[in-house]
């Protein structure tokens, strides 16, 4: 079905988010064709190759002649009102975020009314490609990436922002293992804090259709719109586990199968909050009979740092006992034999990229 374009919807969100600068001068735009895709961008950029494509757009690599650097240019062609809202909110979030482990936004603009171009710093590849490559991740580099991921999440939660779609493909890295969190299309500003009131209120019940299923906090599935920023921590734990196992930790075929895979490891979720009366659950009886294990059992037959295993046990658990990002960063896995890079990270971080 063809999207019935409504410029009023775009103008509404641009005004709400104070993004009027997106309507830029189009006099210096030039049309480029890369593979089967067309890009209408400034002559300051020389696009070269397609880096990837997804539900909302396509990304190319380009050389920024004006600033003498390579960049990533994401072209988004809106096809429904939801895509308009999500992508404009993403631009707004990236405009205000400033942290080494969050992808840096250089500029964004709307061309021909329905095309949004987002220009960011360029990274070498995403974490998914690294995990499933032949490259062996050393324990030192693994710890470095985990620390950065948690530090980026701590920064987001400090600003009251939930990412809500942490997964390997939304985590970018370079050849030196510098890590950046990207894709804020599902991110949301929230009120409240971890271990406090749930992040929703009577006026706006949050959607439970967030986070790719394999990385989705069971609280989201079971509570149907009542969850906290600790949902991001669950996703982080699943990503770390995948880095270690070289496979997804919980790869459910559907929502029911996902919950059953989780409860086979963690046992039934605690009552009463995590099992509200939120509609039929024909599989609930099987969930409640599951044997209670710890996620540590998953790693019993592989070579893993015991402290990392303990950290994962505090990330991949039900929400009432799950670590915050700050608690995770203070875990003995990072504290003991802490390398110089982490000491520099802790002491110089706030001066380098602002609020943490």
Task: Summarize pLDDT for 121-140 with one digit per residue, the tens.
Answer: 999 999 999 999 999 999 99
In the prediction, which pLDDT does 273 show? 47
In the prediction, which pLDDT does 185 show? 87
The CATH number, out of the four listed (3.30.200.20, 2.60.120.10, 3.40.50.300, 3.40.50.880), of the domain defined by the range 7-121 = 3.30.200.20
In the prediction, which pLDDT does 27 show? 72
Active site annotation includes 126: no
In the prediction, which pLDDT does 191 show? 66
- Name the pTM for this structure: 0.85
Residue from 64, 126, 151, 165 carrying the catalytic annotation: 165
In the prediction, which pLDDT does 82 show? 84
Cβ proximity of 317 and 267 under 8 Å: no
Residue ranges of the alpha helices (H) in the chain? 7-16, 81-96, 127-131, 139-158, 218-223, 230-245, 255-266, 284-288, 306-315, 325-329, 332-335, 340-353
Cβ proximity of 166 and 236 under 8 Å: yes
In the prediction, which pLDDT does 343 show? 54
Closest CA to 227 of 171, 188, 284: 188
Show the low-confidence residues of the chain (pLDDT under 50): 1, 193-205, 208, 272-291, 350-356
Task: Summarize pLDDT for 318-335 with one digit per residue, the tens.
Answer: 988 899 999 999 999 998
Q: Does domain 125-353 have CATH number 3.10.180.10?
A: no
Each domain of the chain, given as residue ranges in start order, spans: 7-121, 125-353
Is 125-353 the same fold as 7-121?
no
């Amino acid at each position: 079905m063809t999207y019935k374009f409504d410029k009023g919807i775009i103008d509404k969100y641009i005004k709400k988010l104070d993004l009027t600068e997106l309507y830029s001068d189009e006099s210096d735009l030039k049309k480029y064709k890369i593979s089967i895709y067309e890009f209408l961008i400034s002559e300051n950029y020389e696009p070269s190759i397609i880096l990837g494509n997804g539900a909302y757009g396509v990304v190319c690599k380009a050389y920024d002649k004006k600033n003498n650097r390579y960049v990533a240019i994401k072209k988004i062609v809106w096809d429904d009102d939801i895509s308009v809202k999500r992508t404009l909110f993403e631009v707004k979030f990236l405009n205000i975020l400033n942290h080494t482990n969050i992808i840096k936004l250089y500029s964004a603009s709307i061309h021909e009314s329905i095309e949004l171009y987002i220009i960011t710093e360029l990274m070498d590849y995403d974490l998914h490609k690294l995990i499933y490559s032949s490259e062996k991740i050393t324990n030192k580099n693994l710890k470095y990436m985990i620390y950065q991921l948690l530090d980026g999440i701590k920064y987001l939660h400090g600003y009251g922002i939930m990412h809500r779609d942490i997964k390997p493909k939304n985590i970018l890295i370079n050849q030196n293992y510098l890590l950046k969190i990207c894709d804020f299309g599902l991110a949301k500003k929230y009120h409240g804090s971890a271990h406090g009131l749930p992040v929703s209120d009577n006026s706006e019940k949050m959607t439970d259709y967030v986070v790719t299923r394999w990385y989705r906090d069971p609280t989201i599935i079971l509570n149907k719109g009542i969850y906290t920023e600790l949902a991001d921590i669950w996703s982080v734990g699943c990503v770390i586990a995948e880095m270690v196992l070289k496979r997804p930790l919980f790869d459910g075929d559907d929502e029911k199968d996902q919950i059953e895979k989780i409860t086979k490891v963690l046992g039934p979720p605690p009552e009463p909050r995590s099992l509200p009366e939120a509609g039929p659950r024909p599989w609930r009886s099987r969930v409640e009979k599951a044997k209670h294990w710890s996620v540590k059992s998953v790693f019993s037959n592989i070579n893993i740092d015991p402290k990392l295993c303990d950290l994962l046990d505090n990330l991949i658990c039900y929400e009432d006992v799950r670590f915050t990002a700050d608690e995770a960063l203070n875990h003995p896995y990072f504290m003991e034999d802490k390398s110089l890079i982490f000491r520099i990270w802790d002491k110089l971080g706030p001066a380098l990229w602002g609020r943490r």
